[in-house]
Structure 1
Amino acid sequence: MLAAVVFSFAVGQTPAEAKDGCGGASWYALHSRTASGERMNPSKLTAAHRNLPFGAKVKVTNRNNGRAVVVRINDRGPFIRGRVLDLSRAAAHQIGMVSSGTAKVCFEVIG
């Protein structure tokens, strides 16, 4: 694993460009346009990430309870230090983080 990380950095990939990781997540339920151009729909299983490609499928696991959800990246963010994803309300509900507002999660690109 360490060799893969070192190799990634050697070819110019930053940690934020990695295909998986862990960090904080929050959720949002706006109805505005996303960075991909579609309207945000809080009832869809979507998420924002700083630089994963739009349309990427990502498995997100809540580290506190082990619950997981697959989301589609359709927006950019979050722009708060330590957070790696902003989830739609539906996705946050699936992993049990609506009431807390934030959670520690791990994510993995699966498609």
Structure 2
Amino acid sequence: MIRTAVLVAFLAALVFSGLMGGEAVAEVIAGSKLLADCRDGDNPNARDSTYKWGTCFGYINGVADALVPAQLYCLPKGASAGQVLDVAKLYIQDHPDKQYLPAPQLIVNALVEKFPCN
């Protein structure tokens, strides 16, 4: 089931990459790259911080939104995109041994752990 979720996340990343301006390049990034973009996005003094923050926010929430129908996790009513962002960033940060894995897989792992379906 997790493999199916990662495949769906990959397909979602392909779709969302086409919605960005400029040349569309489908890329599934590693957790370490996503975390670096998120950290740069949180630092207003970093070069391209607004772009990096948007990449972080959009990537994490795009994967999360695309996988809601798979029912791998159950977001509580009223959960915000900011909460999803924080949960995923914290999970990736707290699991440096897994940061080489594809970011969509880590996002799913974070949401399954934090918001299990009972």
TM-score for both structures, normalised by structure 2: 0.23
Between Structure 1 and Structure 2, which shows a larger proportion of strand residues? 1
TM-score for both structures, normalised by structure 1: 0.24
